[in-house]
C-alpha cells in the first residue's frame, strides 16, 4: 500500500494558495495548512490600511478555507525572524544607497527557511505554495522552470532556493494560467474568491511608501536622511534634495527639481549624500557585475555562456553572456542595452526557461 504523502501548504488567504489546496487534495495529498504572521502593521499605526498576506483578515480567511476543505491549519508567528532578516536587509540596503528586493530575501529565509522547520516537526514530506513556477530535473539537478503563465511567472523571486529545498517543494499552479486558477475556484463554489483582487504592494508597506516606513523603522533616520546635492554625471551641482534614501535608480517622479527637461536618477552616493541625475539614455548600459552568485551547477558552466538575464521582475529577459569570476562574482555582457540597472536588485540567468543561477547586482 502506497504511503499518502503529507504536504505543508503555505496559505495567504488569497486565491492562489487556496486553489493550490484544492489541487493538492485532488491529487490525494494529505494537507496541513500554515499561515504566518511576519509583520504587525497594527503596531505601526496602520490598522485601517492593514492588508496583504500577513494581515489578521488574511490569516482568518486561510483558516476558514482549511476548515471548509477539511484539513488542519497552523498559525506561525515569524515577526521576530522576519524583522531580523527581511526588514533588516531592507533598511540596510536603502541606507547603503541600494534598492533591495525583500520578496527574494523572504522566500529564502522565511517561506522556505522557517516554514521548512515546521514541516519537519509535523512530519511533512513536502512544502507547497501558490507560486507560478515549476521544478524539473535535468541530468541529476533540479531547476526552477518558468510557469506556464508567463505574465504571472514568479521564478525570478525564487532563484536563491537550494537543491535540497527544491527537492521538497511542490508548485501546484505551475502548469496553470491565472484565468484557469480563477475558474477552478468558481467550479469549487468560491465565486467571491475567484473575483478577489491581488495586492501589488510590499506586504509590510501597505501604503506603498517605503520612505515613511524607513522614517518609522530606522532610529537615527533624521540624522541620516538630510539635505544633499543633486549633481550631474560630471559632478556639477544642479540643486538640493531631501536625502539620498528617498531616491532609487531610474526614478523620475518626485524629484522636486526643475531642469527644463526630464531627469532620472542614475546613481546614489550615500558617502557624500549626492544623487546623480542624467538624461534617460545615460541610464542605458550593456554590462553589469553581480555578487553573491549562486548556480545550479557552477563547475560545468563555461565562460561566455549565453543566457537570458532578467534585471528586475517586470523587465523582459535580455540575451547576454556571463563571465564567471573567482570571487563569486559574475560579469554580464548584454547583447543590447538595458536600462536603469539598480544595485541591490537581483539579476537572474535563464537557459531554455530554466534558472541556472542568479546574483545581486553591485555595479
Give the fold, CATH level 3, of 283-361. Answer: Elongation Factor Tu (Ef-tu); domain 3 (2.40.30)
Q: What is the pLDDT of residue 117?
A: 93
What percent of the chain shows pLDDT beyond 90? Answer: 86
Q: What is the pLDDT of residue 203?
A: 86
**pLDDT of 49 strictly over 70:** no
> What is the C-alpha to C-alpha distance for residues 19 and 65, in angstroms, rounded to an integer?
10
pLDDT in tens, 261-310: 999 999 999 999 999 999 999 999 999 999 999 999 988 889 899 999 99
Q: What is the pLDDT of residue 326?
A: 81
Q: What is the pLDDT of residue 57?
A: 84
Q: What is the pLDDT of residue 198?
A: 79
Across the chain, mean pLDDT equals: 93
Question: Band of the pLDDT at 41, cuts 50, 70, 90?
Answer: low
CB count within 10 Å of CB 41 equals 21
pLDDT in tens, 54-81: 578 888 999 999 999 999 999 999 999 9
Active site residues: 106, 203
Question: Band of the pLDDT at 53, cuts 50, 70, 90?
Answer: low
Q: What is the pLDDT of residue 2?
A: 62
All structural domains of the chain with their residue ranges: 6-194, 226-278, 283-361
C-alpha to C-alpha distances, 38 to 42, 44, 91, 175, nearest whole angstrom = 12, 13, 16, 29
Radius of gyration of the CA atoms of the chain, in A: 22
Question: Band of the pLDDT at 4, cuts 50, 70, 90?
Answer: confident
Worst-scoring range by mean pLDDT, 3-12, 39-48, 122-131?
A: 39-48
Segments in 87-245 forming alpha helices (H): 88-95, 102-106, 115-121, 163-166, 178-187, 191-194, 210-217, 221-224
Return the CATH number of the domain spanning residue range 6-194.
3.40.50.620
**pLDDT of 40 strictly over 90:** no
Let me know the angle formed at the C-alpha of 154 by 148 and 159, rounded to the nearest 5 degrees. Answer: 115
Segments in 135-177 forming alpha helices (H): 163-166
Distance between alpha carbon 89 and the CA centroid of its chain, in Å? 13
56 φ, ψ to 5°?
Answer: -65, -40
**pLDDT of 227 strictly over 70:** yes
> What is the C-alpha to C-alpha distance for residues 213 and 153, in angstroms, rounded to an integer?
28
Domain boundaries 226-278, CATH class: mainly beta
**pLDDT of 1 strictly over 60:** no
pLDDT in tens, 87-137: 999 999 999 999 999 999 999 999 999 999 999 999 999 999 999 999 999
Amino acid at each position: 500500500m502506497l504511503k499518502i504523502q503529507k504536504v505543508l501548504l503555505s496559505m495567504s488567504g488569497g486565491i492562489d494558495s487556496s486553489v493550490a489546496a484544492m489541487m493538492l487534495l485532488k491529487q490525494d495529498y494529505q494537507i496541513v495548512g500554515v499561515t504566518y504572521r511576519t509583520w504587525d502593521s497594527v503596531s505601526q499605526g496602520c490598522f485601517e490600511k492593514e492588508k496583504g498576506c500577513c494581515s489578521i483578515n488574511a490569516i482568518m480567511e486561510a483558516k476558514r478555507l482549511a476548515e471548509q476543505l477539511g484539513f488542519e491549519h497552523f498559525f506561525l508567528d515569524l515577526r521576530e525572524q522576519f524583522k531580523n532578516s527581511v526588514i533588516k536587509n531592507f533598511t540596510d540596503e536603502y541606507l547603503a544607497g541600494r534598492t533591495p528586493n525583500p520578496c527574494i530575501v523572504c522566500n529564502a529565509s522565511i517561506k522556505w527557511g522557517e516554514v521548512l522547520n515546521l514541516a519537519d516537526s509535523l512530519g511533512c514530506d513536502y512544502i507547497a505554495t501558490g507560486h507560478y513556477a515549476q521544478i524539473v530535473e535535468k541530468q541529476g539537478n533540479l531547476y526552477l522552470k518558468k510557469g506556464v503563465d508567463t505574465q504571472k511567472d514568479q521564478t525570478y523571486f525564487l532563484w536563491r532556493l537550494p537543491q535540497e529545498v527544491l527537492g521538497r517543494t511542490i508548485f501546484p499552479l505551475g502548469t496553470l494560467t491565472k484565468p484557469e486558477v480563477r475558474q477552478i475556484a468558481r467550479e469549487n463554489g468560491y465565486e467571491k474568491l475567484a473575483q478577489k483582487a491581488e495586492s501589488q504592494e510590499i506586504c509590510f508597506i501597505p501604503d506603498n511608501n517605503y520612505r515613511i516606513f524607513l522614517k518609522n523603522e530606522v532610529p537615527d533616520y533624521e540624522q541620516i536622511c538630510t539635505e544633499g546635492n543633486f549633481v550631474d554625471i560630471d559632478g556639477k551641482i544642479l540643486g538640493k534634495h531631501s536625502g539620498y534614501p528617498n531616491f532609487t535608480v531610474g526614478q523620475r517622479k518626485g524629484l522636486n527639481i526643475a531642469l527644463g527637461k526630464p531627469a532620472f536618477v542614475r546613481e546614489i552616493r550615500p558617502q557624500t549624500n549626492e544623487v546623480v541625475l542624467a538624461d534617460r539614455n545615460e541610464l542605458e548600459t550593456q554590462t553589469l557585475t553581480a555578487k553573491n552568485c549562486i548556480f545550479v551547477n557552477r563547475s560545468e558552466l563555461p565562460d561566455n555562456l549565453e543566457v537570458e538575464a532578467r534585471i528586475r521582475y517586470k523587465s523582459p529577459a535580455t540575451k547576454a553572456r556571463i563571465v564567471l569570476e573567482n570571487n563569486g562574482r559574475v560579469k554580464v555582457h548584454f547583447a543590447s542595452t538595458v536600462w536603469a540597472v539598480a544595485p541591490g536588485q537581483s539579476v537572474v540567468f535563464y537557459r531554455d526557461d530554466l534558472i541556472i543561477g542568479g546574483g545581486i547586482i553591485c555595479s
